[in-house]
Chains A and B, each alone.
Chain A
C-alpha cells in the first residue's frame, strides 16, 4: 500500500520532489547533521597511540559488558513495557486507572539518582546491587516507560474491531494480542526499544558508578584520562556506525509491512474485566515497576531530604524549577515540530533521501552527551564567527560569541539529541493512519499543510503527546549537554542536583532530584488527562 499522494497529472516529478516540504526538511536536517559530521570526520584522522592502547588492554571487556547491558536492559524493558501496556489497555483490574499513568513515572527519575538510591538499598537488605545485574535492573526500571508509553499510545490507537473480530471467531485474548495486537504495534515497540538501546549505549554515570565499564567508559577514558579528544571522538564515531547498523536492521525488520486502520468504523476496543486472583495478579504485576522504579527511589530521596533539610538548594529553587520547566517545554515543542515536518515529508514524498537523513539524525542520540556537545560547540562557534564578522564589520564593535553564550545553543543541542525520541513515535503514529484520508483531503483541494493540520495531526494526537512528553522529561533530566553548553550563571534542576550528587553529597542533592520528579509529573498528569479521552474505562 502506498500512502503517498500520487502526483497530479502533468505535474513534473521533480517539481513535486522540490516541494517546500522536502526542501525545508532537507535544510533542517542538514543543519542538525553538522555537529554529527564534526564527530564523524574525526574518523578520517590517523589513529592515535591511546586508541592502540585501549584495543590492547580493555576494549574486549568494554564491548562484552556493553553487549550484555544492551541485551539485558532490552529484554527487561521489552517484557515490562509491553506486558503492562497490554494489561492496562485491554483489561480492567483493580488500580488500573492509577497504574495506567503511574507506570510512566519512573521515567522522571534520572538514572544516576536511581543508581545512588539502589546503592544504599544494599545496606538495608544486604543484596549487592553494584554489579552488572544490578545495573541492568536499575537502568531497565527507569527506561521501560519508553516502551510502555509508545506501546500504549499505539495499542490505544488500534481499532477495537480487529481484536474483537478475532475473539468472536473463537480466539482467546492472549492469542489475539500475540497474532494481531503485537504485530500491529511492532514498529512502535521496536522504535521504543531502539531508543532504550541508544540510551543504554550513551549511559555513563550509573553504570560507571556500579563498576561496569562499557564502550562509553572507553570514550571518556581516552578523553579525560589520556587527554585525547580526537581519539574519544573517533571512538564515539565508531559507536555511531554501530547504531547506524542497528537502525538499518530496524528498518529491515519493519520491511514493507504496513498496518493501517481504514474505514469509518474506528472505535477503541472495550477492555475486558479480569476477575478473581487473575485481576490481582495483573494489578500486582503492574504495581511492581512503579514500586521499584518510582516509589522506592522517591522514598529514599524523601529520607535523605528529611536528614539534610531543604536548605542545601538555597532560596532560588523556585526560579530554577520554573526555568527548567520553560526550557524543557520549549525544547519539547521545537523538537516535536521538527519531527512532524520530517515525518510528514516522508509520508508525502516517500523520498529515500529524506528518510535516510531523518534516520541519520538519530545518531545524535546514540553518542555520549559530552561528545555531541563538542560537535555542537564547534558548529555554533563557527556560525558565531560567521555572524560576528558581519556584525563587527557593521558596527565596528567586538560583540563576543553571541550564539554560544545564549540559550539558542542549548535548544539546538536538545533538538539534535532528542529528535529521534520524537520522530520514532510520530513516524509510527503516521504509519498507522490510512493513506486514503490524505488522498480524500487532497482531492477536496486542501493543501498538504491543511491536510496535515486538519487530518493527520488530530488523528495522531496521542502519539504527538507521547513524543512531547518523552522529550520534555528527557530534557528536564539531561545533564552533559546542559552542563557544557549552558550560558554562565544558568542553572537547571539537573545541573543543580548533579553539583551536589557528583560531589558525594547525595543527601543534600535529594531536594533537587525530588523537584525534577515533581516537575516531570506535572505534564505526565496533564497529558494523561488528554490521552484518557481515548481510553475507555
Chain B
C-alpha cells in the first residue's frame, strides 16, 4: 500500500511538473499580481527584464480577487509583488498581513514620503485626480469652486457621476468623511444625489459623453479616463475636447482629491530582492514618464514630467489627506453611499 501510494504521488507530480512551465533558477524571476491592465505596464516589465535579466511573470485580475488569492495561497504563494489601482486596497492587503516592509534608499529618494505607507509596506506609483468636466457653453467657470459647492441647488438635475461602487467615488467620499465627519459626508452624498441628472450608470467615459450629449452639464471624473477619451481613436470622442472644460476643485482650500495606484512586496515573496529592484525601477524617472506619457497618469517621482495633455491642464494643488486614511475610511464611505441612495 505505502509504496503504491508514493508511486502514485510521484506520477501525479511528474505529470504536473510536465504541465507547468519549466522555470529557470528561482532568483531570475519574479511574479507580479496586478490590477493594472495597461499596455504601458507590460512595456515597462519587458524593459525591466532586459535590464536586470529577471523574468517577470504577470497575473492580472481585480485587486480584491488577487488579495483573496494571496490569502488562500498563504506562505506557498508564488507572488512577489501586488499592484493595485488605489491606496485603499493596499491598506487592506497590509491589514491582512499580506505585505512586508521594505527599506531601500533608492525608493525613498524617488517616491516622496507622503506617497508611501508610513511602515514602508507599500509605495504609490502614479496619481490620478478626481476632477470636474463641464460643458463650456452651459457652465460659467466662475460658478465652480469645490466638491462641497456641488451640494448647491443651482446644480439640480445637472450633475453626472458613475455608480458608488466605483472605488474613486468611494475614495472621494472617504476624503470628505475625513475632512468634515461622517454626518456631513452623508449630507453631501444626499445633496449630490438630489442634483444628479440621472441615476448613475456607465463608466467615466459615459459621463463625459453624456455631458457632450446635453444630458447634464457637469461630470465628476478621473483625469486618467479623461485623458483616454480625449486621445481616443473615435473622432467623435476627440471632438469633445473643444467643448469641455476641466476644473480642479478645492484649489482655494485643501486641494483636489487624488488617488494613487501603488505597489507592495508580498509577505512571502520568494524573490524579495527582485521585487525591490522592480519597485526601484518603476519609480525611476524614465519609467515614471512612461506612465505619464502613455497612460495619462501623474508621476509620483517629482523629477518626472507629466504628459503633454496633463500639463495643458496646468499645475494643481492636491489634497494631502494621508492615503492610509482613505483606505481605512473606505468601508464607511461605501455604506454612506447606500444610505444616501447613491446607486
Cα–Cα distance between A394 and B14 once the two chains are bound (Å): 13
User: Chain A: interface secondary structure?
Assistant: helix
The reply to whether A209 and B202 contact each other, CB–CB distance below 8 Å, is yes
Partner of B78 from the list A119, A307, A400 (CB cut-off 8 Å) is A400
Q: Which residue of A lies closest to B12 (CB)?
A: A387
Given known pairs A208-B163, A377-B72, the reply for A227 and B202 (CB within 8 Å) is no
Cα–Cα distance between A377 and B61 once the two chains are bound (Å): 14
Is A123 among interface residues, defined by CB-CB distance under 8 A?
Answer: yes
Partner of B204 from the list A119, A224, A504 (CB cut-off 8 Å) is A504
Partner of A229 from the list B38, B68, B167, B205 (CB cut-off 8 Å) is B68
Contacts of B68 in A (CB 8 A): 229, 374, 377
Give the segment of B243-251, B309-317, B334-342 that binds chain A. B334-342
Cα–Cα distance between A387 and B12 once the two chains are bound (Å): 9
Given known pairs A217-B165, A224-B165, the reply for A487 and B201 (CB within 8 Å) is no
Contacts of B204 in A (CB 8 A): 504
Cα–Cα distance between A374 and B61 once the two chains are bound (Å): 13
Q: How far is the CB of B78 from chain A (nearest CB, A)?
A: 6
Q: Which residue of A lies closest to B167 (CB)?
A: A224
Is A143 among interface residues, defined by CB-CB distance under 8 A?
Answer: no
Contacts of B21 in A (CB 8 A): 487, 489
Is B287 among interface residues, defined by CB-CB distance under 8 A?
Answer: no
Contacts of A388 in B (CB 8 A): 76
Partner of B13 from the list A57, A399, A507 (CB cut-off 8 Å) is A399
Q: How far is the CB of B13 from chain A (nearest CB, A)?
A: 5
Number of residues from B at the complex interface, CB < 8 A: 61
The reply to whether B76 and A400 contact each other, CB–CB distance below 8 Å, is yes
Contacts of B77 in A (CB 8 A): 401
The reply to whether B170 and A225 contact each other, CB–CB distance below 8 Å, is yes
The reply to whether B338 and A53 contact each other, CB–CB distance below 8 Å, is yes
Contacts of A378 in B (CB 8 A): 72
Contacts of B228 in A (CB 8 A): 503-505
The reply to whether A401 and B165 contact each other, CB–CB distance below 8 Å, is no
The total number of A-B Cβ pairs within 8 Å is 158
The reply to whether B60 and A403 contact each other, CB–CB distance below 8 Å, is no
Cα–Cα distance between A406 and B235 once the two chains are bound (Å): 43
Partner of A402 from the list B17, B39, B206 (CB cut-off 8 Å) is B17
Is B233 among interface residues, defined by CB-CB distance under 8 A?
Answer: yes
Partner of A208 from the list B38, B165, B225 (CB cut-off 8 Å) is B165
Contacts of B205 in A (CB 8 A): 504, 506
Given known pairs A220-B165, A406-B20, A489-B58, the reply for A385 and B236 (CB within 8 Å) is no
Is B47 among interface residues, defined by CB-CB distance under 8 A?
Answer: no
Q: How far is the CB of A490 from chain B (nearest CB, A)?
A: 8
Q: Hey, what's the 0/1 contact readout for A365-381 against B, CB within 8 Å counting as 1?
A: 00000100110011001
Cα–Cα distance between A108 and B300 once the two chains are bound (Å): 42
Is A518 among interface residues, defined by CB-CB distance under 8 A?
Answer: no
The reply to whether A406 and B206 contact each other, CB–CB distance below 8 Å, is no
The reply to whether A489 and B165 contact each other, CB–CB distance below 8 Å, is no
Contacts of A312 in B (CB 8 A): 39
Partner of B76 from the list A54, A385, A483, A507 (CB cut-off 8 Å) is A385
Is A58 among interface residues, defined by CB-CB distance under 8 A?
Answer: yes
Partner of A504 from the list B9, B167, B225 (CB cut-off 8 Å) is B225
Contacts of A314 in B (CB 8 A): 39
Contacts of B201 in A (CB 8 A): 130-131, 209-211
Is B106 among interface residues, defined by CB-CB distance under 8 A?
Answer: no
CB-contacts of B16-39 with A (<8 A): 16-17, 19-21, 31, 37-39
Given known pairs A210-B201, A405-B20, the reply for A221 and B165 (CB within 8 Å) is yes
Q: Which residue of B lies closest to A485 (CB)?
A: B69
Cα–Cα distance between A404 and B9 once the two chains are bound (Å): 16
Number of residues from A at the complex interface, CB < 8 A: 70
Given known pairs A378-B72, A394-B6, A404-B73, the reply for A499 and B236 (CB within 8 Å) is no
Contacts of B31 in A (CB 8 A): 488
The reply to whether B16 and A406 contact each other, CB–CB distance below 8 Å, is yes
Contacts of A495 in B (CB 8 A): 60
Contacts of B343 in A (CB 8 A): 211, 213
Cα–Cα distance between A403 and B12 once the two chains are bound (Å): 10
The reply to whether B20 and A402 contact each other, CB–CB distance below 8 Å, is yes
Q: How far is the CB of A302 from chain B (nearest CB, A)?
A: 14
Contacts of A241 in B (CB 8 A): none
Contacts of B9 in A (CB 8 A): 387, 390-391, 394
Given known pairs A209-B202, A488-B78, the reply for A381 and B64 (CB within 8 Å) is no
Cα–Cα distance between A189 and B18 once the two chains are bound (Å): 43
The reply to whether B62 and A224 contact each other, CB–CB distance below 8 Å, is yes
Cα–Cα distance between A400 and B59 once the two chains are bound (Å): 16
Q: How far is the CB of B119 from chain A (nearest CB, A)?
A: 19
Contacts of A504 in B (CB 8 A): 203-205, 225, 228-229
Is B285 among interface residues, defined by CB-CB distance under 8 A?
Answer: no
Q: How far is the CB of B92 from chain A (nearest CB, A)?
A: 6
The reply to whether A307 and B233 contact each other, CB–CB distance below 8 Å, is yes
The reply to whether B72 and A507 contact each other, CB–CB distance below 8 Å, is no
Partner of B202 from the list A119, A304, A387 (CB cut-off 8 Å) is A119
The 5 tightest CB contacts between A and B, nearest first, are A211-B201, A488-B57, A225-B334, A499-B37, A57-B338
Residue ranges of A at the interface with B (Cβ–Cβ < 8 Å): 50, 53-54, 57-58, 119, 123, 130-131, 208-211, 213, 217, 220-221, 223-227, 229, 304, 307-309, 312, 314, 370, 373-374, 377-378, 381, 384-385, 387-388, 390-391, 394, 399-408, 480, 483-484, 486-489, 495, 498-500, 502-508
- Known: A483-B61, A489-B21; 10 extra A-B contacts, CB below 8 A, are A224-B64, A227-B64, A307-B234, A309-B233, A384-B76, A400-B78, A406-B16, A406-B20, A488-B31, A503-B38
For this complex, 25 residue pairs linking A to B, each with C-beta atoms less than 8 Å apart, are A57-B339, A211-B199, A211-B343, A220-B165, A224-B62, A225-B331, A229-B68, A312-B39, A377-B68, A377-B69, A381-B74, A387-B12, A391-B9, A402-B13, A402-B20, A483-B60, A483-B61, A483-B62, A483-B65, A484-B69, A488-B57, A495-B60, A503-B228, A504-B203, A504-B205
